Structure 1
């Protein structure tokens, strides 16, 4: 949840405009077609969001909040703006009321779908490692952050009685409540008499043109891959994370730099010496392997900043900070497009959507392309990653070659203190490199479907049920609608799935037309050379294409487009960077001295054996190219 005052003010305005749309529809002043197609720009709502103040001439650097990227549409991609749509939403009232089945009856409980269809199982990938999975979460947190309605003082809403044994009576429920039913027959929650899983609907964003219309949920992050979860997306958070000399703040742990400690009561362990870290999005402690990536990128910024300071002693700390940030952002985007996406989508689809990096400058920018994330990407396709999580993390002892420990993942959620054990960071990196991720299928570890964020309780949250309910909250249409969108025939019978899946689907859904997008996407066989099936692959490829074509500050854009364009020589250096180089330059070096050349492929595969970090096989960026002449 968010307690950001800017978000709360905008969400309040979005809500006013929603109520106006409901009133206008009740008076038949707006038709269903006008609402579905967004043809309501002639109807202003009672709230109009203030336009950002953009510098003229445009800044050399990205704004912290993502605004002022597009010169004509200055809010595209900015924090606290709405998710866009591939298809008009499926709200049962056309405005905000959650989807019902194709027959008009209620959809099955999201927990019932999860309990019957999303099972626990282990199917390790033959090629991809857990670093691939973890980088995917890092990308997702950078570009997408849900914000939910809260009480006026920022406190969380409860939709259930204190122990989840019953729903709160309707007169006591907040109108943003959409709790998930879990009946006494539930084979897990039933033993705890838990019949109500708390769920609060996402906050709404007002349209930038002030018009009324169907609900658009608010993104609490910038929509761009810009490391906003490292730096922050508000002046307040950016200031909190900065240190003198153009550096990012760190916690000096006996000569090792870790992310700065936070004063927020977020982590579960609060004993003396327990570490809890601050991040740009306040989610860096969610799981310790994610905290490892926050650590590596914090160190990378500071490594670059120190080098720039030596090369350009006349620069002040503001310029050092902004230039180091600009370079780190470019490195991150290059790794995303050159290494991660081809392994996710396969070379054919990456080629078709123009996602491969260019030899030099890129010429793909289109000012009419809105780079903002789609609801389908955020609530379904990008959440393929929940299927590839392994329930346990294997941590090797690199000196002995034995397994140091095996950790059940809920035990390191909001408990990052193991990073204070001196060899742990190196061991964690090596474990992520060697351990295979799971394949994309309708199997999700029970660490996410039963024990997520359980704290000291015997049960936790069901992430699969949350995913399904969140898709319905956002008005995402059923799976078949997206098959039609990409030119595939809709599925007319459950028997078109595997016999096992068909039987389970038929036991919860009335019709194939009701299958939730996230569920249907996980049931597809992966495309050739890809991790995901055809529907998710097209939604993902479309989104990353929009980001590339709609981002004026995209790292490959030349000076004709990008006010902060790199010189050809600088861009060539950035294109040498791989995640393996980031790891090699920012590891502790206590036990880890070698790294597989491809950081996202299993280190036990022939041709990807670890090589010394000073090997030319893992090229290094020459920062002397960034000396100002």
Structure 2
């Protein structure tokens, strides 16, 4: 929730006195208790102190030189005085403050405080650097910044000299920098053409190569900046104050209990007596299995979410509320202190000194421990759009039903095949694959199941089951003249709503959905997102993950995976990993295998360097490095291509060329946005029809159609198949980002070898957005500062295909009905990037939150878990090309920027020319890392 503040001229200093303190205790595993100050709101500005920094932080005065700060002249800083501390001696010094906006010279008044201990002995402590809150008027965003300690620049230079010999250089527009390999500095340029203009020569692994001059200034721009056409403004959500007394609430609780009993009786009729359960190994059952097998914790969480929704419905009927009153009036009321209190989500105690991420994401944020945790709710930028205000799928603004998802898929989106596919110029198949790999690290919904764990059936062989159907069913209806399904007399595709998730704060209100996995880029698809699954992937020997055979991902030894389409007669089995979707297709399996091997390679070397480390330390340190590499590759190689350099700068998610990041903000919620997960990050238009195997002589020798290998990894179990698959995704291009989709996912999703039809993923995307209550395309445009369209014709200059507005006009009743995923997919991309302005707005905002809202972000400094500066400089050498070189079966040559096709600017090179992380930076004399 945004805080609205009054901004003062930059030269004014706000002195805060009369500070009130309240004790909040964070009792960790080691019994640590800390006191956190709270402050009265003064001049509408709320200062904050991080709970893991001592409450007696120093008073800091930032005095800016206006000549040096002409770009951001309106910064404000709250000064903090602490009357509790006696005998204060003030020192003054000059230093630099580091922030996402570069380095600035400031004057710091730093106090030495003498603190009296409980034993009445006086101790002198140098006050820790204090994270002050600053406000930026353009976006009204809040960032935390730490000033660097005296001598940091000298220490950093010393560390870098240990790392490697620096070859200094200068860019064409006068920025000083260091000559690095292309892969190490791509985030600064975001375009191969600019890299070629800034060539220099550097040494990598003892060899001289052509590199690029990497500027030291994070605000460097290689090209003329263009104005970003949007500016996200998160509005205050509407709120209606409703008075609900205890009698009304208790009556609603009793009614909800009766409704739950009736529901289960009805479900027993549908599932137990009428047999409305899915048949295994059908497209519908495979779609259900993509959400994971039946899980007791998920079932309990979903039941609690369902109960709270029933309480909301009961109150709405009792008070005769309108849909808007139910949505905006009931969602602030809590069930704490009621009999339902026992079901409220609670966090485990947090240890602020614990050096590693928890497996389930709990306590990443010490103030809001549930933010980003697995099985916690998705976040939202806007309130949901439900027709009844709380749960039912929306209808047209004209009051008529919306067009069916399949009708939109057929009449607005087009189908590609091997004859009319349009391939991207800039991105290969691996680029698409990395996007899905990251998606599987940060998003997974929870599908509704029957109370016995069975999958729900909403369609029979041809049609929907009729009025007697499970309440979670929202089948996708198919018209009789459908150009594809009519051949098979198919009138319905199965669709089950995602489960109702409980709210983190025990509130009632509209339907929310849970993210089953952690929100953070932490490698959870490798390590699992629950402690039970994590134990299943670990060997508990020398920090290693389980493998089998030729250092492969372990098989599903129970062979009980309903998400596996390998015929049992073959004797082969599917794969088991931290993510339930690992068997979906070849590219996912390849990346999972590469990073499993990378983890084990790191753990093995760390064991050699630190023979005194135990299994747990080796596992956690290797996991920490792998997670940092995934973060770095995503922000260095993937996002600059997806968003473009100017959009990256607009959202302030560019990486730092050196030193630590001090932008962590514990009031920024990193939980995945529903608008992101259910629409803006669904880039299925990039999916290619084929996976091709390519030998080391650069010849394709086999190709597999996508729909024939869903959930069947057995085709790449042979010797050398991994390397040949990787060569194929490196060489071949993905499809373009447009309104054309391959038939393998539009008509044949999860079709098995003996089946002639499957599901339509495009229709599923549209229905999923409505299931989650995602606001419309025009509503999202409005909060992104883009002009909403008043007519379909107005859209023509904003679309890739100028004629698409006519398809939309023939399909929708009103321009305000357009689904967000449809509108965003049809948009014309911004300069430099993959996406149009509306998708860029949401995707950029989400990745900003994943950087500044993650306490364990790999660049963060001055924390108990931070990498040393030398370690951080080594992490910055990580590239996807190096991961492939290190962990392929017998891989020797690759292009430096692995997500881009081989070209004149991105030529194939020997693996010895790709920088390598030096793990001697992790040599330690302690039993922990």
Aligned pair in 2 of structure 1 residues 35, 333: CA closer, same or farther (>3 Å)? farther
Show the counterpart of 1:114: 409
Q: Kindly indicate whether residue 318 of structure 2 is the aligned counterpart of residue 27 of structure 1.
A: yes
Match of 1:49 among 314, 324, 344: 344
Match of 2:881 among 577, 580, 586: 580
SS at match of 1:584: helix
Compare CA radii of gyration and give the structure with the larger one. 2
What is the deviation of 1:118?
1.6
Runs of 4+ in 1 over 4 A off after TM superposition: 29-39
Whole-angstrom CA distance in 1 between matches of 2:841 and 2:917 = 33
Q: C-alpha offsets along residues 240-294 of structure 1, whole Å, 9 cap, x if unaligned? A: 11012210001213xx433444433332113445241001121100001110000
Show the counterpart of 2:871: 570
Q: Kindly indicate whether residue 856 of structure 2 is the aligned counterpart of residue 553 of structure 1.
A: yes
Match of 2:400 among 96, 102, 105: 105
Q: Does the CA contact (< 8 Å) of 2:685 and 2:736 recur in 1?
A: yes
Show the counterpart of 1:63: 358
Show the counterpart of 1:11: 302
- Residues matched between the structures, number: 615
Match of 1:438 among 735, 744, 758: 735
Q: Kindly indicate whether residue 219 of structure 2 is the aligned counterpart of residue 219 of structure 1.
A: no
Show the counterpart of 1:361: 660
Aligned pair in 2 of structure 1 residues 202, 576: CA closer, same or farther (>3 Å)? same
Q: What are the residue-to-residue correspondences of 1:374-413 with 2, within 5 Å?
A: 374-383=673-682, 385-399=683-697, 401-413=698-710
Whole-angstrom CA distance in 2 between matches of 1:127 and 1:38 = 49
Over the aligned positions, Cα root-mean-square deviation in angstroms equals: 1.6
After TM superposition, the score normalised by the length of structure 2 is 0.65
Q: C-alpha offsets along residues 501-557 of structure 1, whole Å, 9 cap, x if unaligned? A: 123212221111111111101110111110111100110000000111111111111
Question: Which protein, 1 or 2, shows the higher relative CO under an 8 Å CA cutoff with sep ≥ 6?
Answer: 1
Q: Kindly indicate whether residue 897 of structure 2 is the aligned counterpart of residue 598 of structure 1.
A: yes
Show the counterpart of 2:376: 81
Q: Kindly indicate whether residue 715 of structure 2 is the aligned counterpart of residue 418 of structure 1.
A: yes
Q: Does the CA contact (< 8 Å) of 1:82 and 1:204 recur in 2?
A: no
Q: C-alpha offsets along residues 443-479 of structure 1, whole Å, 9 cap, x if unaligned? A: 1101000111001311011000000000000000111
Whole-angstrom CA distance in 2 between matches of 1:39 and 1:559 = 42
Match of 1:486 among 784, 805, 813: 784
Q: Which runs of 5+ in 2 are unaligned?
A: 1-290
Q: Kindly indicate whether residue 813 of structure 2 is the aligned counterpart of residue 510 of structure 1.
A: yes
Whole-angstrom CA distance in 1 between matches of 2:606 and 2:321 = 57
What is the deviation of 1:207?
1.1
Whole-angstrom CA distance in 2 between matches of 1:43 and 1:251 = 50
Aligned pair in 2 of structure 1 residues 36, 363: CA closer, same or farther (>3 Å)? farther
What is the deviation of 1:4?
1.5
Q: Kindly indicate whether residue 673 of structure 2 is the aligned counterpart of residue 370 of structure 1.
A: no
Aligned pair in 2 of structure 1 residues 183, 29: CA closer, same or farther (>3 Å)? closer
Q: C-alpha offsets along residues 73-101 of structure 1, whole Å, 9 cap, x if unaligned? A: 11100111111111111001110111101
Task: Answer with 194-203 or 43-52: which moved more.
Answer: 43-52
What is the deviation of 1:32?
5.2
Whole-angstrom CA distance in 2 between matches of 1:275 and 1:295 = 16
Aligned pair in 2 of structure 1 residues 196, 147: CA closer, same or farther (>3 Å)? same
Q: Kindly indicate whether residue 762 of structure 2 is the aligned counterpart of residue 461 of structure 1.
A: no
Show the counterpart of 1:185: 481
Whole-angstrom CA distance in 2 between matches of 1:309 and 1:38 = 57
Q: C-alpha offsets along residues 303-342 of structure 1, whole Å, 9 cap, x if unaligned? A: 0000111111011111111111111111111111111111
SS at match of 2:630: helix
SS at match of 1:126: strand
Whole-angstrom CA distance in 2 between matches of 1:251 and 1:282 = 18
Whole-angstrom CA distance in 2 between matches of 1:90 and 1:530 = 30
Whole-angstrom CA distance in 1 between matches of 2:428 and 2:458 = 39
Whole-angstrom CA distance in 2 between matches of 1:538 and 1:35 = 29
SS at match of 1:145: coil
Q: Does the CA contact (< 8 Å) of 1:251 and 1:261 recur in 2?
A: no
Show the counterpart of 1:203: 499
After TM superposition, the score normalised by the length of structure 1 is 0.95
Q: Does the CA contact (< 8 Å) of 1:10 and 1:49 recur in 2?
A: no
Match of 1:299 among 581, 597, 603: 597
What is the deviation of 1:61?
0.8
Greater strand percent: which structure? Answer: 2
Greater helix percent: which structure? Answer: 1
Task: Answer with 262-271 or 281-290: which moved more.
Answer: 262-271
Match of 2:428 among 129, 137, 143: 129
Whole-angstrom CA distance in 1 between matches of 2:525 and 2:676 = 19
Q: Kindly indicate whether residue 466 of structure 2 is the aligned counterpart of residue 141 of structure 1.
A: no
Q: Does the CA contact (< 8 Å) of 2:323 and 2:387 recur in 1?
A: no
Show the counterpart of 1:613: 911
SS at match of 2:701: strand
SS at match of 2:688: coil
